[in-house]
A and B are shown apart, each in its own frame.
Chain A
């Protein structure tokens, strides 16, 4: 059931005192754990836990034709699936708006930050290029899937290795062990989301907090540069708040990037 309206009153009252129900500060994240290499068959994979929120991300690669407007560049495809087991709100069937949005937002963060060096994924110009598939699966939803998926996608790509491609036969040998890493930029992009509740801005909300938020903004940040953005929910965000959100998220991204780099070692 969607969090009832009367809980909102309590959460807001507590926020005014600068406190949250689980004892965190307004901008504090829950405990973040990242585990890579969870899937044997994927080229790269990661499991991300943010408190009770849990997301699996897998990277798979295949050889395909390039798009006509980028004959010498590889392709990227990001899809997200909200598994019914992760929440009683998700039903199986055709993808609903939230899961499409999650895939699009994560796609844009990776693409616009030029994280993957697509030029290096070209096998033969105009004919054969690598396609990178990033698949996001939610395992448990306790709010803030957007950030968890973004962190997971980055971690999975970081751990990904290009499978062996036999140019003569035109076949990929997935069995053969490969050491070639996916060509990525040195800096890590991140998608981070700020939620607005009344006049307060919080980060990493639980399911309950996310339900009663008025508005949210997701930024794709790579080494201090914002390259993508997504606004969600119904309320407006004014210019001053947006400025505050930019500063807050930039600060936060440094902290989270450090955590990711540490756990990937």
Chain B
């Protein structure tokens, strides 16, 4: 079932390619499927893996990555896995007596309490702040048995007033952001737009001209489509040069 695949680029969050000559070993990545045994012995199971009867088994479909101690799977597709501290973009699904229920694109809904909004909220009219169908940028501050709790208490969070929302696969988000945000700042610079990338795969673009917003959208979709290509930063640069002709 396993398929060897040449993937010169360094997986998830990096924007720059690693030299394939120096690290020939790490440049060859194995594609694994859920249920496949990917390691045994003293290795620690990392993200996307599970320990079963002393064997480490992949639970996601993706690329296997391991060093001397840890073994993990970088997912190639799949739904968003919420984590504490993640920035997410969601849509108001329901108003309750003390907060908003927000759809962040996964099976369960997230809850934003009135207490987590850094401004005065009239409890009798929550719709004044955010109404049904409104979009918001929020932060996950807690995940517990009851569900996911969101907060707006941070810079750059709040209701989205205008712009457009683009949806990409959540596993492509690290590539869109790039190494230390290099990719996203390049798009911002080239298109003159404000861009917020939610970890759940929703991207909010806001610019002065719709043309600019569409260019940013096109660039993001381009990155999501070519996320496995090595030297993606150069490819995106080329993409912008061609688009601007």
A residues bordering B, Cβ < 8 Å?
A: 1-7, 9-10, 13-14, 21
B210 at the interface (CB under 8 A from A): yes
For the complex, count residues of B whose C-beta is within 8 A of A: 18
Bound: A3/B164 CA distance, A = 10
Instruction: Given A1-B91, A1-B103, answer yes or no on A10-B163 (Cβ-Cβ < 8 Å).
Output: yes
Q: What is the minimal beta-carbon distance from B132 to any residue of chain A, in angstroms? A: 9
Please provide the 9 A-B residue pairs with the shortest distance between their CB atoms, ordered closest to farther: A5-B133, A10-B164, A4-B135, A7-B164, A4-B165, A14-B210, A1-B105, A4-B91, A7-B165
Residue from A6, A10, A14 within 8 A of B135 (CB atoms): A6
Let me know if B103 and A6 touch, CB within 8 A.
no
Residue from A4, A9, A13, A21 within 8 A of B133 (CB atoms): A4
Query: Which residues of B have CB within 8 Å of A21?
Result: 214, 217
Give 30 CB contacts A-B under 8 Å.
A1-B91, A1-B103, A1-B105, A1-B167, A1-B202, A2-B91, A3-B165, A4-B91, A4-B133, A4-B135, A4-B165, A5-B133, A5-B134, A5-B135, A6-B160, A6-B161, A6-B162, A6-B163, A6-B164, A6-B165, A7-B164, A7-B165, A9-B162, A10-B163, A10-B164, A10-B210, A13-B210, A14-B210, A21-B214, A21-B217
Bound: A4/B135 CA distance, A = 7
Bound: A193/B103 CA distance, A = 31
Q: What is the minimal beta-carbon distance from B200 to any residue of chain A, in angstroms? A: 10
B213 at the interface (CB under 8 A from A): yes
Residue of A nearest to B105 (CB): A1
Q: What is the minimal beta-carbon distance from A175 to any residue of chain B, in angstroms? A: 35
Query: Which residues of B have CB within 8 Å of A7?
Result: 164-165
- Highest count of chain A CB atoms <10 Å: which of B164, B202, B213: B164
Q: What is the minimal beta-carbon distance from B39 to any residue of chain A, in angstroms? A: 31
Q: What is the minimal beta-carbon distance from A209 to any residue of chain B, in angstroms? A: 13
Residue of B nearest to A9 (CB): B162
B residues bordering A, Cβ < 8 Å?
A: 91, 103, 105, 133-135, 160-165, 167, 202, 210, 213-214, 217
Query: Which residues of B have CB within 8 Å of A13?
Result: 210
- Highest count of chain B CB atoms <10 Å: which of A3, A6, A14: A6
Q: Add 10 more A-B contacts to A1-B105, A14-B210 (CB < 8 A).
A: A4-B135, A4-B165, A5-B133, A5-B134, A6-B160, A6-B162, A6-B163, A9-B162, A10-B164, A21-B217
Q: What is the minimal beta-carbon distance from B151 to any residue of chain A, in angstroms? A: 21
Bound: A2/B105 CA distance, A = 10
Q: What is the minimal beta-carbon distance from A134 to any residue of chain B, in angstroms? A: 33
Q: What is the minimal beta-carbon distance from A170 to any residue of chain B, in angstroms? A: 48
Query: Which residues of B have CB within 8 Å of A14?
Result: 210
Query: Which residues of A have CB within 8 Å of B164?
Result: 6-7, 10
Query: Which residues of A have CB within 8 Å of B217?
Result: 21
Query: Which residues of A have CB within 8 Å of B161?
Result: 6
Bound: A6/B161 CA distance, A = 8
- Highest count of chain B CB atoms <10 Å: which of A1, A2, A3, A14: A1
Query: Which residues of B have CB within 8 Å of A3?
Result: 165
Bound: A2/B202 CA distance, A = 12
- Highest count of chain A CB atoms <10 Å: which of B133, B165, B167: B165
Q: What is the minimal beta-carbon distance from A24 to any residue of chain B, in angstroms? A: 13
Residue of A nearest to B159 (CB): A6
Residue of B nearest to A14 (CB): B210
Q: What is the minimal beta-carbon distance from B218 to any residue of chain A, in angstroms? A: 10
